[in-house]
Amino acid sequence: MSEQQAQEVIVERPAEGVAVVRLNRPEATNALSLSLQARLSAVFAELGADAQVRCIVLTGGESVFAAGGDIKGLADAGPIEILQRHTERVWAPIQHCPKPVIAAVCGYAFGGGAELAMHCDIIIAGEGASFAQPEIRIGIMPGIGGTQRLVRAVGKFNAMKVLLTGWPVSAREAQAMGLVCDVLPDDQVLAHALKMAQTIAAMPPLAAEQIKEVVLAGVDASLETALALERKANQLLFASRDQKEGMQAFVEKRKPRFEGR
């Protein structure tokens, strides 16, 4: 890994159990170059396996979260080259990260940037943020989950409007659609995300991981199958020390200390 590639994604540990992953290509509006994607993939693989990390905040700059892919690098590419890039493998550590991930979005999240935000579990946006899937305007379509995650988040009709027009959607519109959880003044977004991350990091990590796993697995399952997954995951948690600690602390009216065991 080159020094430049290492600097494209910065990892910080601002609080116990919390990691901040910061996209750092401000000169290129955090465009998702192949090297940045590779670095992001490696970072999420590392953090996902780190027992000391209980929640991750993903953010960009104050004026932009992330632009899409490198259009100059795509203009002359053929289908075999695109296939051989295997973006599904590069993005897999983000998609399958077992830890809760919060996207703190300021400025625009367009194309691959919007798809990256949708890989997260919670999206917090600044009042000046906007989201778009403008791929149709250059003759292609989203290829990193934009069509599938968007329709699951906002429904068919809102998704079709975003995908077929390429129009940007403001943070407030995105919140009304169900894509964004909270909207705050731009200068409060990261602080709010960190506060939420600390709250989640203080929860029992096994329960957090099981909740995330069951929610994501249940989305595409029948209700009966999803309910069965929920029951089994809940039953499993009764084998954990954290369940005993949490309930005992509740009875004793004290603050629990969860170990992830």
- Strands across the sheet containing 9-15: 9-15, 18-23, 55-59, 101-105, 122-126, 182-184
- Output the six-digit token pair for 127: 């009042």
Contact between residue 126 and residue 183 where contact means Cβ atoms under 8 Å apart: yes
* Amino acid (one-letter) located at 237: L
Q: How confident is residue 37, by pLDDT bands cut at 50, 70 and 90?
A: very high
String of b and e for 77-87 (b: at least 16 CB within 10 Å)?
eeeeeeeeeeb
Which residue carries 């990590």 as its tokens? 205
pLDDT of 79 above 70: yes
Q: Where are the domains of the chain?
A: 3-201, 205-252
Which residue carries 């000046």 as its tokens? 128
- Strands across the sheet containing 108-110: 64-66, 108-110, 130-132, 169-170
Q: Are strands 130-132 and 169-170 parallel, antiparallel or unpaired?
A: antiparallel
Domain 205-252 - what CATH class? mainly alpha
pLDDT of 128 above 70: yes
The CATH-assigned architecture of domain 3-201 is: Alpha-Beta Complex (3.90)
pLDDT of 1 above 70: no
pTM exceeds cut of 0.95: no
For 87-91, 146-150, 248-252, which range has the lowest pLDDT when averaged over its residues?
Answer: 87-91
CA dist 53 and 49 (Å) reads 8
Angle at 163 between CA 158 and CA 164, to 5 degrees: 100
